Structures are given as structure tokens and as C-alpha cells.
A and B are shown apart, each in its own frame.
Chain A
Amino acid sequence: MNARKLTTMAAAVAAAAALAGCTELSQESARSYMGKEDAKAYAGDQFKGDKQKWEQSLATRAASQNEYLRTQAAK
């Protein structure tokens, strides 16, 4: 499948987005998950439950997406 062909569906996706408000689906809270329980993201070896440290790490990574921080240092 040529990536360039995907373009035809673009309009459709965009249109779907524009038609927001599928209110009849907002009942997830009523359903209950039947699968295995998942551990917290910060529960593994890396953070050993230290949520603060984990959040700090994510914040640093998020800041890396902002090139303005790397370029204004010049000023």
C-alpha cells in the first residue's frame, strides 16, 4: 500500500472529527474491565514506586519536545 494513497481517506478522518459528539457511547464507566490487573507505570524496577521521581522524568522528556528551550538559551 502506497503511503501516498492514504490521502484519500484523509478527508474522511477529518470529517469524522468534525462530527464530534458521539454521546451515545459515553457509558464506559458503567462497564467493568474483565482482564488482568496492570501495575502502575512507576511500579517497575526503574522507579520502584517513586511517583514523584517518575513524573519528574516525564516532565524532562516532555520539555525536550520544545526546541524553543534549546534556542533561547542563546539570548
Chain B
Amino acid sequence: MMLTRKTEGRAERANPLARAMSALSAKTVDRRTFLKGSGLTAGAAAFASQLPLGFVGEATAATAAGTGKMERKRTVCTHCSVGCAVDAYVQDGVWVRQEPVFDSPLNLGAHCAKGASVREHGMTEHSHRLKTPMKLVDGKYRKISWEQAINEIGDKLLALRKESGPDSVFWIGSSKFSNEQAYMYRKFVSMFGTNNMDHQARICHSTTVAGVANTWGYGAMTNSYNDLQNSKAIFFIGSNAAEAHPVSMLHALHAKETGAKMIVVDPRYTRTASKADQFIRMRSGGDIPMLFGMLYHIFKNGWEDQKYINDRVFGMEKVREDIMKKWTPDKVFEACGVPEAEVYKAAETMAKNRPSTVVWCMGQTQHSIGNAMVRASCILQLALGNVGRSGGGTNIYRGHDNVQGATDVGPNPDSLPGYYGLVAGSWKHWCRVWGVEYDWMKSRFVSQAMMEKPGMTLSRWIDGVTEKNELIDQDSNLRAIVYWGHAPNSQTRGLDMKVAMEKVDLMLIVDPYPSASAVMPDRKDGVYLLPAATQFETSGSCTASNRSIQWREKVVEPLFESKPDHTIMYAFAKKFGFEKEFVKNIKLVKDKQGWDEPVIEDITREFNRGLWTIGMTGQSPERLKAHMRNMDAFDAKTLRCTKSVVDKETGYDMNGDFFGLPWPCYGNAQLKHPGSPNLYDNSKHVMDGGGNFRANFGIAREGVSLLAEDGSHSMGADITTGYPEFDHVLLKKLGWWSELTEEEAKEAEGKNWKTDLSGGIQRVVMKNHGCHPFGNAKARAVVWNFPDPIPQHREPIYSNRPDLVAKYPTHEDKKAFWRLPTLYKTAQQKAITDKVHEKYPIVLTSGRLVEYEGGGEETRSNPWLAELQQDNFVEINPKDAEARGIKYWDYVWVSSPTGARIKVRALVTQRVGEGVSWIPFHFAGWWQGKDLLEKYPDGAAPIVRGESVNTATTYGYDSVTMMQETKTTLCQIERA
């Protein structure tokens, strides 16, 4: 009880909100004054006069009295990929209440702290939003008009384009865009003339997407959060779902309750670990030894699924040989620190409790060998025959609310929407969909070569600015950087980033909040901030981690002077002179201020016409909206609607559909494919969401067939052997061509299942013959086109174990890799020669807090969340703390091999093992001990600011995707 009281005392003492407010000399205003003053531009006067008094509650009371209509708008939480539905109640244009959506099969009304806070997204008196366009003048942010902003920025970008070519600008987009906006951003930057664009997925799951797609077809979560309920064992490796995907735990804990065994492998005893039956503390970066250590026991005991491997997997024998030779228990222990008994127990649990599933997250992806680690997870699941089974699969939890969607259709430097790649045929396909001439498109780029060359990546743009010109694989260095819905503090090498930010001619930040980009560089000018609206201030679709697509209704009009991203894109397109091409098939409407806004549904319809590869063709806006209005029709375990439920508004019957039509939902909307809840599931008919592994890597390799064995096929398929992907030739050979309608046949001539815009090939193959348009092949345990075809353990660039570096060295350096030279061996060897591990003996790893999201600007500006986490901290083991004279909550300096020093609190805890430290990555606003408060635009600093862990993180990139290595580096910690 005494302690309880002390807590109260502390809570009252520390009030950064008050500090932030007074420091900015912002007046405390009541809601009414605020709403008036905020110039909630659209009809501000109208609703300010209607809103009776200072409190929302009074507005509620007013409803009862019969004034002001209360409207319900259904939206989706914007803070993670679980996709929790939210009911927003809006009165007189103000979002006054938030209610749980019990009907949602994904979250059943549940929310974590972030979801429970979304009503406060900058619309109360505490708003820390970026309210108007701003320009940095003499080191101070000054308000400017939109017109001036678009003109000045546009002129500068056009001048750079002319002087140094379109590749001199790097466009970072966002995983918080809706699918429509993400898709338009890809188009927009293409029309500017470059592939230099990227978004959060690069540093989130790029290694997964590449590794998993190359193993069996699609780079996505195979099953769903809900499907965990069908698992008998759940194996988390590098995922702290309890903090990163809290509501997914509703399904995991339900499964556990009904008997599933839960295993957590992590360097930290996380909150997820506290719920596990078995917790395994692993050395950071030891994933491959751990996973292959398990496979060693699986093979030794004959627990693998031999028939499955024979029918559906290529190359397992080679992998097996490699594992049995290299990953004996002693080697496993040496490399990842897990004793044989624990590895054995985990292997046995996974083998004897099938279907068992593997869950992974950033703990596995953010390594210089991330692509290999994720493939090791895939191989484990293939050996156990768990992929393509309900309750099994690789449940890859994505991060942002629409990072899956932005990866599928958005700003990727190496691909057009739908993973079509960048070859001429892909460009031609999309030009047809966009309604523009291929030659015109080509003329926007420097050359066809540059048009087909993947751009730089988000993780490396800083080197695109600072690297020697002769070493980069494009004409000019980068001269402008656009951060459009992306935080800078989620990327590593903060010190180098600051230099790059100071070197470019122009920085453009488009975001609802100023973000750390606004304050990191010491610049006097050349920075513009443009206020973007949040997803609650527009409508559109977003793809949850399980590939279910949900539709958000617009809750309120854009706040302050903000504009939705697609409206801003259109304004720039106009300035750049390609607005006609940009919206060929898309209508425009005038918004309240007379701006042209592309109609969201038209954008959805346009991508529906082009995304055949991943089956994002069947999800028409009408179907998606019907699902959102009738969520209770879908079962929370299977996600399926199993009876006739007719949407009142459209008359659409959802019978048979899976919620949100998880892609692939092939064919056009009329085909009424139900969506695919679990990928590659051959126990179902393709028109029931069934499938098999994709034929994407040829039909034979070194004389061995890559197609599935006879008898292994999706249920009811007319072809009962393996078969290649479908095109017009195969269709004719099989005698199925005549089943196309005349119109379809006209379009399908010379095309394949991915480029036939009529959808006829997909229709005939699936509906008439039960076959899979992408063929029926084996998954690849050996990915021969990757640097390590069989996943190999390699020590991180900054390793604490020189002895292991000698045994497991990293790759050779690379030239012109995503347009940049990239160091591996040189950097690792230098660290060894410099004895970095002696000066920086503590392993540094990073991760998430439940209260904050991503770079954290939005959530740290939300008082309800900010109150819960007011300081950044480093978790340090009691032994390491004692050795350094560090006490609980002392300020400490964490220094890294880059020379950076960051000041954080010490959270002394056994959560981390000896010699390991952990720092959450959501903080920014301090720079090496200094609060940057005065650098923010007035009134727009986040409530909680703190040191960013990435100010201190080091060099290291994945050898396939340029994923940054955040999870394993080194540091030293001392008392401040």
C-alpha cells in the first residue's frame, strides 16, 4: 500500500505534457476554442457553432436532446497489421466516441493501448499535428500557403530533374498509405521517372518477402492470426507478439487454452515469453543454428514428413546432408548458446503436435543474413509438412497496418505493383492498365536501362547522397530526399543520416506530424513540411497481415490544413505536368477547398484490373464494403461465411466468402472467388481458397523436375500431376481455349494468366478445371539464385565473438548492389582488427513497446499513450549494471562503434541476459543527450521525446534485400 501511494506521487511529478505545453507557451484551451482556432477548415464555423460547449459529453447530451446527428463510421486501427476494426461516432464533424466492434472476426472488439487511443489522433485540444505547410527559413519553421509550397517544391524538383536527372531524387513512401495511395505513389514516382523509391517494408520484412517468395511462391504470411486457433504447437522466434501484435494474442492464448503448446525463442524474456510453455534464451542472431539444430533432431528421429517432402519439396535431401554435417548439438550450442536438451524438446514439441506453426518477426528479419534465416524457418515447416495446412504455416506477422498492402502494390524500388518486376513486359502490362503509352513512360526515365534497374533502398539512401559518385550505379548522387509518411529514426546509422540530410539540396517531409526528419539535420533552409491527413480523414482499403483486405470509411474531414496523400500526389502531378496520365481511368472530385481529389474507388477498380499475379483482382470496393458492414457473418476461427448473408445496400451475398477476401482472390469480382485463408492448401478446391506451391522457377533443375509429384494437387483439379503456369499456349494444348468467351479469347491471345486483362484464363483454369493458374510445383528448400542457396549461419558485421567470426565469416563485399557498393567482409574484418568487441562488449538489440508504433511520432504525440511511457531506456542485466555502478532508472550513456553516444534511463532487469542490452526504437527528438524541442515547429513537438536507438546503430545489410542489421550490434554502457 505504501508503494501504491508512492506511485501516485511519481505520476504527478513527471508531467512532460505540461512541460511540453508550457515550453511552447501554448495556451491551455478548451475543446471549443481549440476547434474554432484549429480552423478545421471544412465548414469550421458551421460546426463550431453547433458544438454546444467545451466538452464532448455535452455534444452527446445534445444528441439526446435531438440536435446534431450522431453518425457511425467504421474504420480500422492504423497501428499494426492485426487490423482491429473500430467504430467511430461522429457528431457535427467531430469524432466524439469510439466503440469496440465485437462483430469483427479479426479482433472481436479487442484493442491494445494503441487501438484504444485512435480517437485522439490530433483532434483534441492537445493536438501536436503539423497544421499547415511549413518552410525552414533561417533555421526556423515558418507557415506558408499550400500554393506557395507546391510551386516552390515543384520548381526545385523539376530543376533537379533537369540538371541531374530524375534519379537524383529519392522518394520514400509509406506503409501507412491505403492500398490505393500506395499504388498511386508507385505510379507517381514512376511518372517522375525513377525507381528510387521505397517504404517501411524494406526494414520490416523485405528479407521475408524475398526469402519466402523464393521458397514457395508468395512472400506473405501463409495463414492468419485466427488460424492459430487450429495449431497444436506455436513456435515464436524473434517475435514479441504481446507487444507488437497484442490482439493476435487473443487467438494465440485461446489456442493455448485449448491445448496448444507455446514455445518462444528470443534473446529477451519478453512478455510473450512469459506466456510460453517453453522459453529458450538464444544468442542474438543465432537463428539458423537454432532452427537447424531442431532439424537435426527431426531428421535424426525420422520425424520429418517424408511423403510431403517427396511430393512437394525440392532439395530437402541436400539441406539434410548439410545440417547433419554442420549442426550437431555441440556446434549449435557454440553458435547460439542453446543446450541440446532444450533444442531437442522444442523439436519434439513441434514434431509431435502437428499441425504446428512458426511465427516470426523483426527478430529474424533484421540481420545481414535475414534472407537465410527466414528460409531456415521455411525449411523447418516444410520438413514437418506444415505448410499449406490449417494450423500450420509460417505466420509472418507484418508490422504497419498496411505494410502488406504497400509491399503488394506500392513503392518498391525493384517492382511494379503485384511483384511484376521491372522488365519491359511488366512495364507494358502496367502501361496498359494505366492507359498510357509505353514509349511515353519510357521517355520519363533517363533510359530503358534505368527504367529496368532496381532503385536504391530506404536503408541506404544516405549512401546514395554521400558515396563517391564513381562508385554508385547511376549518373548523379541523390540530391533530394522525400520522407512521405515515414520516420527517419527507424533506420540505422543516425550519425551518417544526419550528414546526408545536411548535404542534400532539398528535404521534403509529407506527414501528419513533423517527424524526426524535421529536427534531425542542422540546416538553415531547404526543408519543407507538408501536412498529410491520417487514414481516419480519408477512405480506402488496407491489407492486414493475413492478407484480408478491409475498407476504411472516412471518419472526419482532414484536420487543419492537411490533405489526403492522393490529393497531394495529384497536386504535384499537375505541377510536374503528367496529371492526365496519372489519372487516366480515375475520376476527380472537388474537395471542400476546391482541390481535385482522385476518387478512391476508381483507384481500387484500376488496380483490380491489373493485379492478377497476387489475385487482388476480385476485391471490388463493393465486395469489400459489404464485408465491413456484415462482419458478424464471418466465423472467428475459419474466417468464413457459411450461410447466405445478403448485404442490404448492395444485395451482395457473402455466402462462402472468407473475411476481407484474403488475396489471392483470383479472377474478376464476378468470378466470386472467396479469397484464400491459408496459402498452398491442397486439401481444398481452388475455388474454395485452396492451392499448391507455385511454379515460378522453371520446370526442372539439374535434371530434377520442379513440378509437384503425381497425385499431389489441389482438391478436385483436372490435372492430377504437377503442371507449369498457364498461358495461351498451354490452354490451347489442353483444348481449353474454346471455353473462353469471344471477348476473353481476343484479349487472352498471346497472354498468360498474369497479363490477360480479361481474367478469362484464370476463370477457365480455376472454375472449369479446378487448376491453379500459377501452376503446381514444389517448394524450394534450396534457393539456388541466392548467395547461400542452403541457409548458412554467418556472424553479424559487429560480432562479440571473434572466434565465431573466424568460423562463420560474413559474405564478400559487393559492388553495385541496389546501385551501391556494400561492405561485408571488409567491415567485419575491420571490427575484428580494431578489437571493437573489447571496447563495446555488450550486444545491443532493439524492439517495440506496446504503447508506441514505428518511429513513434504519432503515438508519442498522443497524451493517453505518452503518459504510459515517458522516457526511453535501455534494459541491462543486473550483473552488467552492478559492474558499472548503474542503478535502476539512472541515466546512462550508451555508446556504439560509430562513435555515437545516446542518453537513456537504465532499466535493470533480468529480461535481458548477461552481456545483452535492449532499447525500444520508437523514440526521437533528442540528439546525443540534447532535447531538440526548440527545433520543432511551434506546437507540433511530440509530448514525449527521447533518444533514438538508431542514432547509435551500425553498418550491416542483408545480402539479398538490403535489410538493415538492427538486431545484433555492439555497445558500451556507462553511468551518465
A/B touching: CB–CB < 8 A: yes
Do B105 and A3 touch across chains, with their CB atoms under 8 A apart?
A: no
Considering the chains assembled together, what is the distance between the CA atoms of A20 and B120 in angstroms?
40
With CB as the reference atom, state the residue of chain A lying closest to B6.
A9
* Partner among A8, A44, A64, A73 whose Cβ is within 8 Å of the Cβ of B108: A64
* Partner among B636, B851, B869, B889 whose Cβ is within 8 Å of the Cβ of A70: B636
Q: Mark A43-75, 1 if CB is under 8 A from B, else 0.
A: 011000000000000000000100110110110
Considering the chains assembled together, what is the distance between the CA atoms of A2 and B869 in angstroms?
5
Given the known A-B contacts A1-B11, A3-B868, are A67 and B638 also in contact in the complex, defined by CB atoms under 8 Å? no
Given the known A-B contacts A6-B7, A71-B229, A74-B638, are A12 and B1 also in contact in the complex, defined by CB atoms under 8 Å? yes
For window 399-453 of B, CB contacts with A under 8 Å fall at: none
* Partner among B3, B100, B637 whose Cβ is within 8 Å of the Cβ of A74: B637
Do A9 and B7 touch across chains, with their CB atoms under 8 A apart?
A: yes
Do B14 and A1 touch across chains, with their CB atoms under 8 A apart?
A: yes
Considering the chains assembled together, what is the distance between the CA atoms of A31 and B6 in angstroms?
30
Q: How many residues of chain B get a CB closer than 8 Å to chain A's CBs?
A: 31
Do B636 and A71 touch across chains, with their CB atoms under 8 A apart?
A: yes
* Partner among B7, B635, B905 whose Cβ is within 8 Å of the Cβ of A71: B635
Residues of A within 8 A of B64 (CB): 44-45
Do B889 and A5 touch across chains, with their CB atoms under 8 A apart?
A: yes
Do A64 and B102 touch across chains, with their CB atoms under 8 A apart?
A: yes
CB distance from B240 to the nearest CB of A (A): 14
B109 at the interface (CB under 8 A from A): yes
B659 at the interface (CB under 8 A from A): no
CB distance from A72 to the nearest CB of B (A): 8
Do B4 and A73 touch across chains, with their CB atoms under 8 A apart?
A: no
B814 at the interface (CB under 8 A from A): no
A39 at the interface (CB under 8 A from B): no
B496 at the interface (CB under 8 A from A): no
CB distance from B24 to the nearest CB of A (A): 22
With CB as the reference atom, state the residue of chain B lying closest to A63.
B102
Considering the chains assembled together, what is the distance between the CA atoms of A67 and B257 in angstroms?
12
Do B4 and A70 touch across chains, with their CB atoms under 8 A apart?
A: no
* Partner among B3, B7, B108, B638 whose Cβ is within 8 Å of the Cβ of A1: B7
Do A67 and B889 touch across chains, with their CB atoms under 8 A apart?
A: no
B739 at the interface (CB under 8 A from A): no
For window 808-861 of B, CB contacts with A under 8 Å fall at: 851
Considering the chains assembled together, what is the distance between the CA atoms of A44 and B64 in angstroms?
10
Q: Mark B610-647, 1 if CB is under 8 A from A, else 0.
A: 00000000000000000000000001111000000000
B341 at the interface (CB under 8 A from A): no
Interface size classification for chain A: 20 to 34
CB distance from B795 to the nearest CB of A (A): 32
Considering the chains assembled together, what is the distance between the CA atoms of A48 and B874 in angstroms?
55
A13 at the interface (CB under 8 A from B): yes
Residues of B within 8 A of A74 (CB): 635, 637-638
A4 at the interface (CB under 8 A from B): yes
Given the known A-B contacts A73-B635, A74-B635, are A67 and B250 also in contact in the complex, defined by CB atoms under 8 Å? yes
With CB as the reference atom, state the residue of chain B lying closest to A4.
B907
With CB as the reference atom, state the residue of chain A lying closest to B642.
A74
Residues of B within 8 A of A18 (CB): none
A16 at the interface (CB under 8 A from B): yes
Considering the chains assembled together, what is the distance between the CA atoms of A2 and B849 in angstroms?
12
Q: Mark B868-881, 1 if CB is under 8 A from A, else 0.
A: 11110100000000
Given the known A-B contacts A3-B868, A3-B869, are A67 and B7 also in contact in the complex, defined by CB atoms under 8 Å? no
Considering the chains assembled together, what is the distance between the CA atoms of A3 and B229 in angstroms?
31
Do A70 and B635 touch across chains, with their CB atoms under 8 A apart?
A: yes
B10 at the interface (CB under 8 A from A): yes
Do A70 and B105 touch across chains, with their CB atoms under 8 A apart?
A: yes
CB distance from B868 to the nearest CB of A (A): 5
Residues of A within 8 A of B100 (CB): 64
CB distance from A8 to the nearest CB of B (A): 6
Do A67 and B871 touch across chains, with their CB atoms under 8 A apart?
A: no
B704 at the interface (CB under 8 A from A): no
Given the known A-B contacts A12-B4, A71-B637, are A2 and B108 also in contact in the complex, defined by CB atoms under 8 Å? no
Considering the chains assembled together, what is the distance between the CA atoms of A68 and B250 in angstroms?
11
Considering the chains assembled together, what is the distance between the CA atoms of A44 and B105 in angstroms?
32
Residues of A within 8 A of B14 (CB): 1
CB distance from B262 to the nearest CB of A (A): 17
* Partner among A2, A64, A70, A73 whose Cβ is within 8 Å of the Cβ of B870: A2
Given the known A-B contacts A5-B889, A67-B108, A67-B254, are A12 and B3 also in contact in the complex, defined by CB atoms under 8 Å? yes
Do A12 and B2 touch across chains, with their CB atoms under 8 A apart?
A: yes
Considering the chains assembled together, what is the distance between the CA atoms of A2 and B635 in angstroms?
39
Residues of B within 8 A of A44 (CB): 64
CB distance from B33 to the nearest CB of A (A): 29
With CB as the reference atom, state the residue of chain B lying closest to A13.
B4
Residues of A within 8 A of B2 (CB): 12
Considering the chains assembled together, what is the distance between the CA atoms of A21 and B425 in angstroms?
78
* Partner among A8, A64, A73 whose Cβ is within 8 Å of the Cβ of B3: A8
Considering the chains assembled together, what is the distance between the CA atoms of A47 and B7 in angstroms?
41
Considering the chains assembled together, what is the distance between the CA atoms of A16 and B100 in angstroms?
33
Considering the chains assembled together, what is the distance between the CA atoms of A13 and B229 in angstroms?
34
Residues of A within 8 A of B905 (CB): 2
Do B869 and A9 touch across chains, with their CB atoms under 8 A apart?
A: no
Q: Mark B49-75, 1 if CB is under 8 A from A, else 0.
A: 000000000000000100000000000
Considering the chains assembled together, what is the distance between the CA atoms of A13 and B1 in angstroms?
7
Q: Mark A1-36, 1 if CB is under 8 A from B, else 0.
A: 111111011001100100000000000000000000
Considering the chains assembled together, what is the distance between the CA atoms of A12 and B14 in angstroms?
23
CB distance from B98 to the nearest CB of A (A): 16
CB distance from A73 to the nearest CB of B (A): 6
For window 1-35 of B, CB contacts with A under 8 Å fall at: 1-4, 6-7, 10-11, 14
Do B635 and A9 touch across chains, with their CB atoms under 8 A apart?
A: no
Residues of B within 8 A of A5 (CB): 7, 10, 889
Residues of A within 8 A of B873 (CB): 2, 4
Do B7 and A70 touch across chains, with their CB atoms under 8 A apart?
A: no
CB distance from B612 to the nearest CB of A (A): 31
Given the known A-B contacts A73-B635, A74-B638, are A64 and B109 also in contact in the complex, defined by CB atoms under 8 Å? yes
Considering the chains assembled together, what is the distance between the CA atoms of A73 and B64 in angstroms?
37
With CB as the reference atom, state the residue of chain A lying closest to B63.
A45
Do B105 and A1 touch across chains, with their CB atoms under 8 A apart?
A: no
Given the known A-B contacts A3-B869, A70-B636, A74-B637, are A9 and B105 also in contact in the complex, defined by CB atoms under 8 Å? no
Please name 23 pairs of A and B residues whose Cβ atoms are closer than 8 Å in the assembled complex, sorted by A: A1-B7, A1-B11, A2-B870, A2-B871, A2-B907, A3-B851, A3-B868, A4-B907, A5-B889, A12-B3, A13-B4, A45-B64, A64-B100, A67-B108, A67-B250, A67-B254, A67-B636, A68-B254, A70-B108, A70-B635, A71-B636, A74-B637, A74-B638
| Residues in chain A within 8 A of chain B (CB atoms) | 1-6, 8-9, 12-13, 16, 44-45, 64, 67-68, 70-71, 73-74
| Residues in chain B within 8 A of chain A (CB atoms) | 1-4, 6-7, 10-11, 14, 64, 100, 102, 105, 108-109, 229, 250, 254, 635-638, 851, 868-871, 873, 889, 905, 907
**Supplied contacts A2-B871, A5-B889, A73-B636, 9 more A-B pairs, CB within 8 Å:** A1-B10, A1-B870, A4-B907, A6-B7, A9-B4, A44-B64, A45-B64, A70-B105, A70-B636
Closest 9 CB pairs of A and B: A70-B636, A9-B3, A64-B102, A71-B637, A12-B3, A1-B11, A1-B10, A74-B637, A74-B635
